[in-house]
Structures are given as C-alpha cells and as structure tokens.
Amino acid sequence: MRIAFLMAPEGVEQVELTEPWQAAKRAGHEPVLVSTDSGKIQAFNHLDKADTFPVDEVVGETSAGSFGALVLPGGVANPDFLRTDEKAVAFVKDFFAEGRPVAAICHAPWTLVEADVVRGRVLTSWPSLRTDIRNAGGTWVDERVKICEQGSSPLVTSRNPDDLPAFCDAFLHVFAGAAG
C-alpha cells in the first residue's frame, strides 16, 4: 500500500517521521513523503535542526486517491504550517471523505482540527491540543494510542515520541485491515 506522509517544508519531529516510515517499509508498504513544496524538508530533534529528507510528491499535484492511507507526523511547527495551507488541509479532508485510514501523532491533530474531521471522534495528542480538539467537537483522552473507528475513516492517534512503538503497531494493524 502507498502511504502518504504529509509534512511541511520544515518543523517535523524527525523521530515521528523516521520510525513510522521504517515501520511501514518493514511491513511491505511504500511510504511517500508529500509536502507543500518540492525539494527537501528540514526535520528537527525538538528545537534543533536534524536531517533533511527529499520530497516525493507535492500537495496540489497529487491526490488522496493515489494512496491507501495517511500518516501525519508531529513536531510543533509542522502541523502549524500545514493547517494554514489550504491544499494541505484539503488533502487531509479528502482522506476522510474517501474513507481512507489516517494516523497522527503529537501535535499533528492540529491539522485534523483545521480540516474539521475530529467532530464526534475520540483521539489523543500532545496535551496542549486538548482544548483545541474539544472545541472542534472531538473527545480528548490521555492514552498512549487511541484507535477511533467512528466515521468513515479509521483514525489512529498518539501523544508523543515515547508512544511510537504503540503508534506504529496500531496504525499498521488498522492500515492492514483497511487494505484487506
């Protein structure tokens, strides 16, 4: 399955990109780095610059329909940039409209809030998003990983990098069920 990993040109938390990416590859999926601009994205280790990664496809030149699922890595700046980009928000909305599974970790649910897809769903995130999620009609829980099957698209969420093993196991399980 082709899995879109959507991120802004900078600000993604590197481990929240690399660990799910490697987990997807090990499971036989094809991860694809999608961004709002071509070239490379700049990852971060918290607030320090880390590695760069090449962009495979650009939002606006690709579609949700060419992927089986979506992963939204976190970092504070990454989802904040994405939620201000109309094409990125529309790309995320399309996954939900088409019933494709989505996984988001840490601050990434900010993009889901902007896409107006958390209403009626139960999810987790970095704790500072709790009020935003509740104001957008979602229910926030403090759990390592939360799988929400409500609505047309399964949604997997986690709180932070410490939750990555549970996050990767959960999204791979949900994505396999969606592909089957």
CA gap 19, 15 in Å, rounded: 6
CA gap 51, 46 in Å, rounded: 12
Is there a catalytic annotation at residue 168? no
User: Catalytic one among 8, 43, 92, 106?
Assistant: 106
Measured between alpha carbons, how far is residue 12 from residues 9, 27, 65, 86, 173 in Å? 8, 23, 24, 18, 24
CA gap 113, 99 in Å, rounded: 17
Tokens 């996984």 belong to 103
CA gap 24, 137 in Å, rounded: 30
SS3 call for 73: coil
* Pure H helices in 27-163: 77-82, 86-97, 109-114, 130-135
Tokens 């996050």 belong to 167
- Coarse DSSP helix, strand, coil percentages of the chain, rounded to the nearest 5 percent: 40, 30, 35
Residues with a known catalytic role: 106
